[in-house]
Structure 1
């Protein structure tokens, strides 16, 4: 199903992005692994290579349109095509609404919205040129559905990428390009586990009784970029163990 496919995944040096890359590579996809931190990109790609996967690290700023085009060009020059683009890179800058700084606001917009928009644009251009369709996936968040304290700017961007997925149905369906989003809830990653109370807190708040893992999220991503989802486009799948249905606050 994924054999001989070519994918770009941004923000993939660790966490959800890395697990998506691992699963893609394990099933025969050649992967361009991006992360803004060079060390994470190199380490992530090395892990996948040790598992016999085909993966090229491509560190850099996934919010920069010129850099994004370089990634697409690299995929084509190295592997001859691009089949899958996953805009996973994102930043979370917490802050009280009354004191939120303009620099923080525009940085969140640039990475979360700009990076998603311009990766979709560059990937879709290449997919249109190839004429065989493709899959584009955005990473949203449950905070794009439910209010969360100190995340006004972040939540706005995540709701925005879901609307982008919906709007691109008009633009891309005639080229057999499907565009969807995933909206993870609380997930155990290297970053979230820096808080020693995170797992217990979210285990107790999640209706299924456990916090999501990166594997939980990656499995849904894999479905949405597979041929099994060819009739699904413009949609967002929430992966949160039911939290957003009742939305108990951790605060």
Structure 2
């Protein structure tokens, strides 16, 4: 006789923040977290996009729009996260910007903007979330979104690559600062991934299918599932690490600029 077995939800009754999540990888992470039982605060700079994404995901998702590097928005995110269950369990710093430009011509205002969003946004969300986790005494998980450009040179992405390498070192350094409070901190470094933005280029999929040893760029779900692993109890003894999810690209590093 076949009996129904209830589905085990890894994040039941947990609350999470995901920044930069109106679309792409961030949205897919929110979707997967909710599927596994979490309540999620979805942030995006675009208020309409945040509201639409949260509406798509249903009552377990609350939108908080605004610049994820803004201290007031960070405060709102933590407050919204704790309003679900009285505690915050997961904070994922996914928001980031990419401003291409050659080293010789790169503008200071572009440099400052990339540093503010990618570095300050990650650092101060982690700080605010860790303070809350320390106060509640139940630990938690922090996750930073890095990139393979933090591991390998990529033309016209010097400033962006700096931020991603720095984010990975931040994850490693914070082991000294937060482990005593039961907080784990890791990073994930996606390679080429099919998102709304990258697929604006019709050559993106065939190019990266040729350059990626596995034979295709990542789907957003490939990155989201890796992210969920790192913030779950399945990774309870993993902290200070970066998981590269790139189909093997960094093992061989063929440049998209080679003919």
User: What interval of TM-score do these two structures reach, taking the shorter chain for normalisation?
Assistant: over 0.9
Does the Cα contact within 8 Å between 2:148 and 2:190 map onto a contact in 1? Answer: yes
Residue aligning to 2:207: 201
Question: 1:1-22 CA deviation, whole Å, 9 max, x = no partner?
Answer: 2000000000000000000000
Provide the alpha-carbon RMSD of the alignment.
0.8
Q: TM-score, normalised by structure 2?
A: 0.94
1:60-99 map, 5 Å? 60-99=66-105
Separation in 1, partners of 2:236, 2:85 = 23
Residue aligning to 2:47: 38
Does the Cα contact within 8 Å between 2:15 and 2:84 map onto a contact in 1? Answer: no
Separation in 1, partners of 2:66, 2:13 = 25
Shift of 1:234: 0.3
Report the structure number with the largest CA radius of gyration. Answer: 2
**Is 1:19 aligned to 2:28, yes or no?**
yes
Question: 1:13-45 CA deviation, whole Å, 9 max, x = no partner?
Answer: 000000000000111100000000112111111
Q: Which structure 1 residue ranges, 5 or more long, are not aligned?
A: none
Number of matched residues?
A: 248
Question: 1:66-108 CA deviation, whole Å, 9 max, x = no partner?
Answer: 2101210122234311000000000000001001000000000
Residue aligning to 1:154: 160
**Is 1:133 aligned to 2:142, yes or no?**
no
Shift of 1:182: 0.2
Separation in 2, partners of 1:180, 1:186 = 20
Q: Which structure 2 residue ranges, 5 or more long, are not aligned?
A: 1-9
